[in-house]
A and B are shown apart, each in its own frame.
Chain A
Amino acid sequence: MAQPLVQIRNLHFARGDKIIFDGVDMDIQAGRITAVMGPSGTGKTTLLKLIGGQLIPDQGEIIVDGQNVHRLKRADLYRLRKKMGMLFQSGALLTDLSVFENIAYPLREHTNLSDSMIRSMVLIKLQAVGLSTAHGLMPSELSGGMARRVALARALALDPMMIMYDEPFTGQDPISLGVLVKLIRDTNHALKLTSILVSHDVTETLSIADDVTIISEGKLVAHGTRDEIMHSESPWVRQFVDGEADGPVPFHYPGDSIEHQLMQEVK
C-alpha cells in the first residue's frame, strides 16, 4: 500500500483537565474518503484543527504529505495549507463579500491570475456545486445547504490535494443532504482528492466513506474499511452504527445512583 497522506502518531491533546486525545494513532490513505466518526464532543473537529495546524498537540506528531505539521515554520505551514481545503460546519464564508468574491478570495491572495481568468475559474467551481447563477448573492441570502456548497467551491478554488469536511450534514434537509453527499463523493473521485469526513450522521457517512475510524473518550475505538465497520461485532461499534440508546456508552450519565441521590435529598 502507498504511503498514507496523513499519519497521526501517539496523539495527545487536552483542554484544561479534559483529555480529548489519549494516544491516538491513525493513517489516512491518499485518494480515499476516510470518515472520522464518534459521539458529539469527542474531539472530531479538534482532530481536523490539529491536522490543519490550527491547534498544537501536547504530545505526538501529525505528518501530512511527508511534513510534520507542527514543526513547520509559518511560511511552510501556509504553503501546506494551500494544498488542504477545509469545509467548516458553518461554511465560514466572509459575510461582507459576495459568493463570487468569497471563491475568488484565495485565488486573489495566492495567485497572479488576471481578473478574467479568476472569473472563469470561479464560475467553473460554482458550476461544479450547481450554483453558477448564485454568484451575485451575499452569504446572508443563502440557505444553510447553499452556504456549504459555496464553501466547498471555495475549498476547491486552489485545487487542493485533500479536503477536510467538518460535520457537513448537520442540520440539512433531505434534499440538501442528498446534494452534499453526491458532491463529496463525486468531487473526491473526479478530482482524485483525499477526503477526511468528520460526522456523526451514520447513514450518509457510511454511504460514501471508503474507510471509517471511530473515536470515543480520547481513544480510537475502531478502524477499518466501510464493510468491516458495518459488519463489526464489537459492541461499541454496533451501538454507534445502530444508534442504540444503551450499551457500552450507558444511557445514564455516570455518577451516583438515583437511590443514593434520593436518600441524600431526604437527609
Chain B
Amino acid sequence: MIHPVNSLTRLGRGTLFLLKVLAGIPQLFVRFGLVTKQMYSVGVQTLLIILVAGLFVGMVLALQLHYTLSTFGAEDTLGLLVDLALVRELGPVVAALLFAGRAGSALTAEIGLMKATEQLSGLEMMAVDPVERIIAPRFLAGFLSLPLLAAIFSAVGILGGYMVGVDFLGVDSGAFWSQIQAKVDFYDDVMNGVIKSIVFGFIVSWIAVFEGYDCLPTSEGVASATTRTVVNSSLAVLGMDFVLTAIMFN
C-alpha cells in the first residue's frame, strides 16, 4: 500500500538527487564523450522500436480518420489531421511511453545492478563521484534523446499516414501536403509538441536514474525499481500531457 509520508519522503529524496545530478551536468561539457556513449545506448538503440511504432501509428491513424472523414467527403484534410494528431499528441506521448519501456527500464536496471555489485561504492572509494560520472551522463543522454526520437516518430508517422492515405486509399497527394503546409502552425503545433517531448524526456530520465540509484541492492530491489520506472514514468507522462495540453491549447 502506498503510504503518503513515504511517498513524500521519496519525492524529497528524488528532488535532492535531481539537484545533485543537475549540478554535475556542467562538468559533462568537457567530457561530452560520456554523454555521446550513453546517447548511443539510450537513443540509437531505441530508434528501431520508435521507427516501427511511428509507422504503424501513422498508418492506423490514416485508416481510422479516412473512414470517418469519407462520410463527410472531407478526405482531403486527412494529411492535416494525421499531422496534428502526431505532432501535438501522439509523437511526444507515445515516443515517451516507448522510451520509458525500452530505455528508462534499461537505465534503471543498469544503475541498480551497478549498485548491487558495488560498482558505485567502488567509484566513491576511488574518489570519483558516481552521480557525476555515471548518473549525470545517462540523465542528460535521456533528456536529449527523447525530443529527437519524438520528432522521428512524428515524421515516420506522417509518412505512414501518407502511404495508407495516398497510395492505398486514393487521397490526393497535393491535398495531403498542402493542407499540412497551410494549416499547421510552427509555434502553436510543432513547437508545443517539441516542448512536451522535452518535458517528458526530463521526467522519464529523472525517474529512471533515481529509481536505479535509490533501489535496494538486491535482485528483487532492482526488479521492482525497474517496474516502478515504467509505471511511474508512464503515469507521469500521461498526467503531465494533460496539464501541458490544458496550458498550451487553453
Contact = CB atoms under 8 A, between A and B. Distances in A.
B121 A54 contact: yes
B222 to A, nearest CB: 14
Contacts of A192: none
Interface stretch (A20-28, A86-94, A197-205): A86-94
A89 B124 contact: no
A246 interface: no
Interface residues of B, number: 13
B1 interface: no
A105 B134 CA distance: 13
A256 interface: no
Contacts of A88: 118, 121-122
Contact of B127 (A82, A92, A93, A95): A82
A52 interface: yes
B86 to A, nearest CB: 36
B145 to A, nearest CB: 19
Contact of A106 (B118, B119, B128, B129): B128
Contacts of A86: 122, 125
Contacts of A89: 118
Interface string B67-84: 000000000000000000
B117 A90 contact: yes
A84 B127 CA distance: 9
A158 B126 CA distance: 9
Interface string B120-147: 0111111111000000000000000000
Nearest to B37: A96
Interface string A18-57: 0000000000000000000000000000000100101000
A252 B197 CA distance: 60
Nearest to B128: A109
Interface residues of A, number: 24
Contacts of A15: none
Contacts of B118: 88-90, 92
Contacts of B129: 78
A105 B127 CA distance: 11
A17 B246 CA distance: 48
Contacts of B122: 86, 88, 92-94, 151
Nearest to A106: B126
A106 B122 CA distance: 11
A110 interface: yes
B124 A92 contact: no
A92 B119 contact: yes
B11 to A, nearest CB: 22
B119 A95 contact: yes
Contacts of A110: 127
Pick the 4 closest A-B CB pairs, nearest first: A92-B122, A78-B127, A92-B118, A81-B127
Interface of B: 114, 117-119, 121-129
28 contacts: A49-B121, A54-B124, A78-B127, A79-B127, A81-B124, A81-B125, A82-B126, A84-B125, A85-B125, A86-B122, A88-B118, A90-B118, A92-B117, A92-B119, A92-B121, A93-B119, A93-B122, A94-B119, A94-B123, A95-B117, A105-B126, A105-B128, A106-B128, A109-B127, A109-B128, A110-B127, A151-B122, A154-B126
Given A86-B125, A106-B127, 11 more contacts: A54-B124, A54-B125, A78-B127, A81-B127, A84-B125, A89-B118, A92-B117, A95-B114, A105-B128, A106-B128, A109-B128
